[in-house]
Amino acid sequence: MLWVEPCGRRARQAALVYLGQPARVVEEGRPDSAYLELIVCGARQHQLPSDYVDWIRLKAADEAEDCYREQSPSGGPAGSREVL
């Protein structure tokens, strides 16, 4: 458990963190939409600032766009088969 002091708050708050094992990290790996939705739901449940929650959503959308570009031979949006 890690103790953090959230911005603008005087009280310390406990935070659970996940530390990945370097040997198990995959460079090209991206979080899937179900995991990102879980993160967003947790952020809302814990009343994180809405601009931060929006940033998570936008970041996820940006990464999804990058994924489409990487998988499409023309550099444009990929078909659904390529993405899946």
Contact between 61 and 52 (Cβ < 8 Å)? no
For 34-62, write each residue's pLDDT tens digit.
778 888 888 888 888 999 888 888 876 66
For 32-41, write each residue's pLDDT tens digit.
777 788 888 8
Q: Measured between alpha carbons, how far is 39 from 53 in angstroms, rounded to an integer?
A: 9
pTM of the model: 0.44
Residue 16 has pLDDT above 60, yes or no: yes
Question: 3-state class of 38 per DSSP?
Answer: helix
